Amino acid sequence: MFKPSTLTLGSVVLCGAFMVSGCANHLSQRSEHEERIERKLLEHKLQVDLGEPKTLELPQRRVRIHEYKSFEVTDFEVTRHYDRYTPYQPWREIYEIPLGAVAVVAGVGANVVNIIALGTLPDSVTRDWISYGVAGLNPFMNAPSNGRAQQNLAGIDEVQTDKRIENSTLPWNERPVLVKAGNETHELSTDRNGVLRVNLLDSPFAEQDLSRVTRLYINVEDEQDNARADASLPVSRSLRGKLLEAHALIYDDLEDDEVSQWVHRVKRLSELGLEEQASELEQSLIELTRNDPQLQAEFLKALAKDAGRLVAPSAQ
């Protein structure tokens, strides 16, 4: 025969195991569905379009820069499974035990009626009432409750639904570009359309002697993945010979000059083939004389007579 101490110890162990295993009432599993898209970068290239002509004949040039990306795109259907349970709260047994007794009696009665009704009653009346009642009568388990249910992630299922290659071409917008001219390297920036405006008669090139610079070297790089592109733009001998004179015509002091010298500057820039710079200087001089109508009229008259340039009325 077993000793009393052995029986007592066995009872405690059995009771403890029952309490641990029966404290949570497991509910039906719940699932969530969602779609997930995975994008894998396959290729990233930068391209510098120097435009035409191949050699820089004028001081200004628009250089277009694009980036090309190729992605492997995979679509997944993701299902997350959650185990649901009602956590145990001992004080709820005060009302769950009597309600459980009522539910068991009702469930037994419903099963008897179901036999007479040839099994036409739903499971929610016959089976669920008894399950609820048994859980309610168990002092170490609460009755199932969706309102108090908690959940734990039980598993994730992923099913691939599609795989494809996507390509994109975007402007290198508002990004840095390095331009090397001789021994100097300048950091410029593209506009929102990915266009880099290079003007050798404008800052920062205007402060540099470009008479011996035969090429401009353009470099772009994406620091995130080290994608890069390099290009070189030859500068013609003819343009290099014009830059020093054109710089003096544009930037030398204007206010101490006579009207005839103003006209000479505009005319000479035009003769050098730098029509854009000639028009800009012309408009600057018109703005300079805006508060002196007589001087402005003299300048416009001299422009028409000596340089053959007519200014539209809207520009005055």
Asked if the structure places residue 162 within a domain, the reply is no
Asked if the structure places residue 271 within a domain, the reply is yes
Asked if the structure places residue 311 within a domain, the reply is yes
Q: How far apart are CA 48 and CA 231, in angstroms?
A: 7
Predicted confidence band of residue 116 (pLDDT cuts 50, 70, 90): confident
Q: How many CA within 13 A on the CB side of residue 165?
A: 5
Asked if the structure places residue 257 within a domain, the reply is yes
Decide if pLDDT at 38 tops 60: yes
Instruction: Give percent of the chain with pLDDT exceeding 90.
Output: 42
Q: How far apart are CA 74 and CA 36, in angstroms?
A: 8
Asked if the structure places residue 300 within a domain, the reply is yes
Number of domains in the chain: 1
Instruction: Look at residue 255 in the predicted model and tell me its pLDDT.
Output: 76
Tokens representing 285?
Answer: 């001089």
Predicted confidence band of residue 227 (pLDDT cuts 50, 70, 90): very high
Asked if the structure places residue 268 within a domain, the reply is yes
Pick the more confident residue, 257 or 272: 272
Asked if the structure places residue 149 within a domain, the reply is no
Decide if pLDDT at 86 tops 60: yes
Average confidence (pLDDT) over 255-262: 83
CB neighbours of residue 110 within 10 Å: 19
294: domain range? 252-316
Decide if pLDDT at 80 tops 70: yes
